[in-house]
């Protein structure tokens, strides 16, 4: 006896193909833009495989759409839940090649480029250095544990636990951990309209 409440994974091939063709992208162009192999894209479009969350995230980014646009395909319309939860293992992270800092992406993909927030974890002596963002962009950094030094252009300030810095990021900027313990921070990036 089958349970109608249990469904298999959504077949997103037709949605991917429609989005790709709507943006007049070839498989090769989307492959380069998303960092996903052309053969994988072809398999997804033919519904012979379903992508991992990481691949789906890359495709969503490359096409400028929400992951939910893919997942809702082929399913009956239903009201959005009042509360949705993202599991710890489903929260994407960006780790610097030196392993000294990690950005956990807390904000939804559809707000990327407008308003973003991250959990930033920096090891003792580590730093996160960034090039200038677009004119008018600002960051808001709150130290949850440990300490940090924020540099924006030629200015620099030290922050202790519980303090928040708000600063321009349309100049080269950096956040470092001068302490002897791991620093955990909440980083919010506000892009101009």
pLDDT digits (tens, 9 = 90+) for 174-186: 999 999 999 999 9
| pTM as predicted | 0.59
d(CA 43, CA 17): 11
Q: What length is written for the chain?
A: 193
d(CA 132, CA 152): 9
Burial class, 167, CB count within 10 angstroms (exposed 0-12 / middle 13-18 / buried 19+):
middle
d(CA 165, CA 142): 7
Position of tokens 């009956």? 76
76-103 tens-digit pLDDT: 444 557 787 878 888 888 898 899 999 9
Q: Is the dihedral of CA 170, 171, 172, 173 positive or negative?
A: negative
Q: If we measure between CA atoms, which residue out of 193, 192, 138, 183 comes closest to residue 165?
A: 138
What's the DSSP call for residue 11? -
Supply the mean pLDDT for the chain.
85
Angle between helices 53-63 and 27-34 (to 10 degrees): 110
Q: Which domains does the chain have, with CATH numbers?
A: 13-71 (1.10.260.40), 88-190 (2.60.120.10)
Position of tokens 């003792």? 124
Average of per-residue pLDDT across 121-126: 97
Q: Give the pair of three-digit tokens for residue 18.
A: 């429609």
């Amino acid at each position: 006896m089958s349970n109608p409440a249990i469904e298999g994974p959504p077949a997103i091939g037709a949605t991917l193909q429609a989005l790709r063709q709507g943006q007049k992208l070839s498989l090769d162009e989307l492959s380069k833009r998303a960092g996903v192999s052309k053969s994988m894209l072809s398999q997804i479009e033919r519904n012979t495989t379903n992508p991992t969350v990481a691949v789906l995230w890359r495709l969503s980014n490359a096409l400028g759409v929400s992951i939910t646009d893919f997942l809702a395909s082929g399913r009956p319309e239903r009201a959005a839940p009042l509360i949705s939860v993202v599991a710890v293992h489903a929260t994407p992270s960006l780790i610097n090649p030196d392993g000294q800092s990690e950005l956990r992406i807390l904000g939804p993909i559809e707000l990327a480029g407008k308003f973003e927030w991250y959990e930033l974890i920096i090891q003792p002596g580590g730093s996160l250095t960034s090039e200038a963002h677009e004119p008018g962009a600002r960051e808001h950094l709150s130290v949850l544990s440990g300490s940090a030094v924020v540099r924006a252009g030629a200015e620099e300030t030290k922050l202790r636990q519980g303090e928040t810095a708000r600063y321009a990021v349309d100049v080269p900027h950096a956040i470092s951990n001068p302490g002897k313990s791991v620093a955990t921070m909440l980083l919010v990036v506000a892009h101009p309209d």
